[in-house]
């Protein structure tokens, strides 16, 4: 009973104060909101330790059981421990252990970031272009009216995001400016997309309000592990 009541009360009080503080930004609500935000930041920092523990447990278990693809887990755990040690001990830092930031230029941490993490991350992101091209070739087919409209919009945006769009319709007279590809691309993004996105955002906001209210007043207790 206590295990459920106390978390429910904490949730209700914090939720209520944060909602009220938005409309009454005066003491004691504004100071309470600030304090709660700081508690959140502290919890978020502690979550890193939980995350690290979880990572070690998950991958450690895979390694010990010699699961399929356990080698990748070994690389993950090895990389994690190596970078953690380099960061904590500030190995190679030009000003020693106490003198400089962990990311100081010339430190081993900086080398790992600069010569391993950075190129790997950029490579992963760059691969997207290849997969987008392949997926477009396979899936972007004008099978019906909706798909055809989608295809036309995609063409306008793709061309409008480059100088080719300007070039292709530069011959149009000024009276037909509304047919120029960059103009069309901009209008699609700032009018059609704008309206659609705002509608989605308002819908999501209403959903969040109702879900939050359910949590604050204790109807939704799923975060406690109950139904």
Partner 1 sequence: MNGFARFVDAIDKLDRRWVFLGVGLAVVISSMFGLTFPEIPTPMVKAVFDKIESLPAGSRVLLPFDYDPGSEPELQPMADAFVRHCAEKGLKMYFIALWPLGQNMVVGVTSNILEREYPHLRYGYDYMDLGYKSGNEGVVAVILTDLKKLYTTDARGSSIDDIPMLQGISSIRSFDLILNISAGYPGLKEWIQYAGTPGNIPVAGGCTAVQAPLLYPYHPEQLLGLMGGIKAAAEYEALMKDRFADKYRGHEEYLSALRRMGPQTVTHLTIIFFIILGNLTFWYLRRHRAQAKLR
Decide: 70 and 84 in contact? Cβ < 8 Å. Answer: no
Q: Which is nearer to partner 1, 62 or 160 (CB)?
A: 160
Q: Which one, 154 or 224, has the nearer CB to partner 1?
A: 154
For 102-107, which contacts have Cβ atoms below 8 Å and span 24 or more sequence positions? none
Contact 15, 216 (CB under 8 A): yes
Interface pattern 135-164 for partner 1 (x via CB under 8 A): -xxx-xxxx-------x--xx--xx-xxxx
Binding mask 195-214 for partner 1 (x = CB under 8 A): --xx--x-------------
Indicate the DSSP class of residue 114.
I
Instruction: Enter the tokens of residue 34.
Output: 């600030």
Separation between Cα atoms, residue 111 and residue 117, nearest integer Å: 9
Contact window for partner 1 (CB under 8 A) among 37-45, 64-72, 73-81, 218-226: 37-45
Residue 52 CB, shortest distance to partner 1, in Å, is: 13
Nearer to partner 1, 118 or 214 (CB): 118
We find the least distance from the C-beta atom of residue 67 to partner 1, in angstroms, to be 27
Contact 47, 29 (CB under 8 A): no
Cα-flanking dihedrals φ and ψ of residue 65, to 5°?
A: -85, -5
CB of 222 to partner 1, least distance (A): 22
49: contact with partner 1 by CB under 8 A: no
CB 160 within 8 A of CB 182: yes
CB-count burial class (<10 Å; 0-12, 13-18, 19+) for 160: buried
Q: Give residues in contact with partner 1 (CB under 8 A).
A: 30, 33-34, 37-38, 40-41, 44-45, 47-48, 100-101, 103, 105, 113, 117-119, 121-122, 124-126, 129-130, 132-134, 136-138, 140-143, 151, 154-155, 158-159, 161-164, 166, 182, 186, 189-190, 193-194, 197-198, 201
């Amino acid at each position: 009973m206590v295990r459920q009541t106390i978390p429910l009360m904490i949730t209700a009080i914090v939720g209520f104060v944060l909602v009220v503080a938005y409309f009454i930004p005066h003491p004691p609500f504004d100071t309470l909101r600030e304090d709660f935000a700081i508690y959140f930041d502290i919890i978020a920092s502690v979550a890193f330790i939980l995350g690290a523990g979880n990572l070690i447990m998950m991958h450690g278990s895979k390694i010990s059981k010699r699961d399929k693809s356990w080698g990748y887990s070994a690389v993950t755990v090895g990389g994690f421990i190596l970078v953690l040690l380099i960061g904590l001990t500030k190995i190679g830092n030009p000003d020693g252990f106490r003198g400089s930031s962990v990311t100081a230029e010339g430190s081993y941490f900086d080398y790992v970031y600069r010569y391993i993490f950075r190129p790997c991350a950029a490579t992963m992101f760059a691969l997207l272009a290849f997969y987008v091209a392949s997926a477009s070739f396979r899936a972007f087919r004008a099978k019906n009216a909706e798909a055809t409209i989608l295809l036309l919009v995609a063409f306008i945006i793709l061309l409008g995001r480059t100088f080719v769009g300007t070039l292709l319709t530069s011959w149009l007279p000024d009276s037909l400016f509304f047919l120029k590809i960059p103009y069309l691309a901009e209008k699609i993004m700032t009018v059609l997309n704008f309206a659609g996105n705002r509608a989605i955002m308002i819908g999501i906001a209403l959903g969040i309000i109702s879900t939050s209210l359910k949590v604050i007043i204790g109807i939704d207790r799923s975060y406690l592990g109950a139904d």
